[in-house]
Structure 1
Amino acid sequence: MTNFTHINKKGIPKMVNVFEKKITKRTAIAKAMMFLGTEIISNFKNEEFITKKGPVFQTAIIAGIQGVKKTSELIPMCHPLLINGIDIDIQIVDSENIEVFCEVTIEGKTGVEMEALTGVNITCLTIYDMCKSINQKMVIKEVRLVAKTGGKSEIKNG
């Protein structure tokens, strides 16, 4: 049991103590693919679609940013972080699919992978919510961490 960083010697959950870690610049980029279908994508003009709920991508980006900032409230063992920057990008890939990227940057003692993954998921969920009146066959898929810098390990998954 003691090999797990979030379990104490008694086998009880704990938050990792990052006191001894160095402050470094840390970034994480998460990506999701999302199937919207041609019925929804065909409504987009100039990379945006205005529904009765407002502009889809702009609203989803704001929601994703809020999600990043609230990650420690949603995931029990995540430390509250002072976020330096959040950049969310949504791209229409083809007549049915979009890609969503979320990059989070901090100077801190712990990574921001969970924040980037939360941001990309909340962005996609907001797109789903805003477009569900047209079609509920949307699929959020292939959510993954594509890059991480700072800390002990670095990841570059493309």
Structure 2
Amino acid sequence: MPAKPARKLSHLDAEGRPAMVDVSGKAVTARQAVAECRVKFPAAVAAQLRASGLRSAKGGIVETAVIAGTMAVKRTHELIPFCHPLPIDGVRIGIDWHGERELRIECAVKTTHRTGVEMEALTGATVAALTVYDMCKALSHAIVLGPAKLLGKRGGRHDFGSAG
């Protein structure tokens, strides 16, 4: 059986310089990606947040994080240099407790375009997590973010994990 060709970085041109990928020759297809980021709290902070219904002096933590994550998805191309501006067909951000001391933030993004939305999903999940941190940092600076990871993507050349 022949060996698989080595994969190469897609954001480098033939001379090894940074470059945006040319997607003009790719087919327009439905694409989706799902990413998550975790927020881990010290035990006393988690107990306080559970007792408050995830509300802080700044307002509803979950509601604010969902709005921030959604805004981040739509502006990913302004933050990550080689991301293409994409028409976003849908964003779903879910935030819920995972165990006693950890919030799990999941961001699912859909588009119909020539390139995928992995970076948008990762950006949405991590900005939502950063927003939770911002709203809770008065309680503790020992809050830990991560890991952030891609759970799956569909559409395009390679599917990965579970998305959809």
Q: TM-score, normalised by structure 1?
A: 0.91
Question: Are the counterparts in 2 of residues 148 and 155 from structure 1 also a CA contact under 8 Å?
Answer: yes
CA displacement, residues 62-87 of structure 1 (integer Å, 9 cap, x when unaligned)? 00011111110100010000000000
* Residue deviations 1:22-47 (CA, integer Å, cap 9, x gap): 11110000012220233232234599
Which residues of structure 2 form unaligned runs of 5+? 1-7
Superposed CA RMSD in Å reads 1.8
Letter in 2 for 1:78: C
* Alpha-carbon separation, structure 1, partners of 2:107 and 2:9: 28
Corresponding residue of 1:67: 72
Among 79, 87, 98, the residue aligned to 1:82: 87
The question of whether the paired residues in 2 share the 8 Å contact of 1:87 and 1:103 is answered with yes
Pair 1:22 & 2:19 matched = no
1:58 equivalent in alignment to 2:63:
yes
Q: What residue in structure 1 maps to residue 3 of structure 2?
A: none
Relative to structure 2, which stretch is displaced further, 78-87 or 134-143?
134-143
Letter in 1 for 2:138: S
Match of 1:130 in 2: 135
Q: Does the CA contact (< 8 Å) of 1:86 and 1:104 recur in 2?
A: yes
Judge conservation of contact 2:129–2:145 (CA < 8 Å) in 1: yes
Q: Verify the 8 A CA contact 2:20 2:82 in the aligned structure 1.
A: yes
User: Is the contact between residue 77 and residue 83 of structure 2 (CA under 8 Å) also seen in structure 1?
Assistant: yes
- Structure 1 gaps of 5+ residues are none
CA contact (8 A) 1:48 1:57 kept: no
1:101 aligns with 2:106: yes
Deviation at 1:93, TM superposition (A): 1.4
- After TM superposition, the structure 1 stretch with the greater mean CA deviation from structure 2, 45-54 or 31-40, is 45-54
What SS class does the counterpart of residue 48 from structure 2 fall into?
coil
| 1:146 aligned residue | 151
Aligned to 1:115: 120
**What's the offset of the Cα at 1:98?**
1.2
The answer as to whether partners of 2:153 and 2:162 remain within 8 angstroms in 1 is: no
Helix, strand or coil at the partner of 1:148: strand
Aligned length: 156
> What is the SS of the residue equivalent to 2:105?
strand
Q: 1:18 to 1:36 in 2, by over 3 A?
A: same
